[in-house]
Amino acid sequence: GDPKVPVLYEVERTRTGKSFSVRSVKAIQHGQPIFTCQASFQLSQGSPVQHQFTMPAVPPPEELLTQEELIQKFLQNPNLAERYKKHLNKIQAEDVPIDIKPVNPPDVFSLEPQEPKQLFWVRARGYIGETDMKVHCCVAAYISDYAFLGTALLPHRQYHVKFIVSLDHSMWFHVPFRADHWMLYECESPWAGGCRGLVQGRLWRRDGVLAVTCAQEGVIRVEQTPNQSKL
């Protein structure tokens, strides 16, 4: 989409029931659809059928470095190749409205394959407060897309990425949460192939409650020639 051009939203009342309702939304610019969304809504209902996975045991965010601090640490290495310095400086210059603290940051100086799993502490920068829960859901949707598809690339770090973009993104909101409070983002990629990658994610509240589940499929195209060492 073009942020300088107004977006026309077409909303279809797909279904309206007593407990569940569905709306289909199409965003249009220059007469062409640039985004489609299907949103389901449910009245709050209690049930004895409840369970969830267990939140991974990880260090608290106070004990970890931010992404900016990690990049600064990498840039201090005098042996880092110039093109990778430019890449890290470009990342550092991005105005990302999210605080990110990787739990297990990949070694940027190694091209060794890694397990397709990542853990981040994440939160929106600034104060949102006890506002409408839909605001926190929108912010969480933005947060969930950051570095998500990159999880599928961890076993293939020897290749240079030519093109990577999301095809679809699904989210299920389970319980109330605050997007401006630290949450643990657990990401994993069970499959990649055919120039596509599949990733799944879970956003955990700090008290161990599973707040959001995510899934995304995207296009991944790489150079066939493996990269050289970053040193």
Whether residue 229 lies in the annotated active site: no
From the number of C-beta atoms within 10 Å of its C-beta (0-12, 13-18, 19+), residue 170 rates as: exposed
Whether residue 145 lies in the annotated active site: yes
Options 67, 118, 144, 216, the catalytic residue: 216
Options 52, 145, 158, 200, the catalytic residue: 145
Whether residue 216 lies in the annotated active site: yes
- Report how far residue 36's alpha carbon sits from residue 50's, in angstroms, rounded to the nearest whole number: 31
What DSSP string runs through 36-100?
EEEEEEE-----S----PPPP----GGGS--HHHHHHHHHT-TTS-HHHHHHHHHHHHS---EEE
Query: Do 197 and 153 form a contact (C-beta atoms < 8 A)?
Result: yes
Options 29, 158, 166, 200, the catalytic residue: 166
Which of the residues are catalytic?
Answer: 145, 166, 216
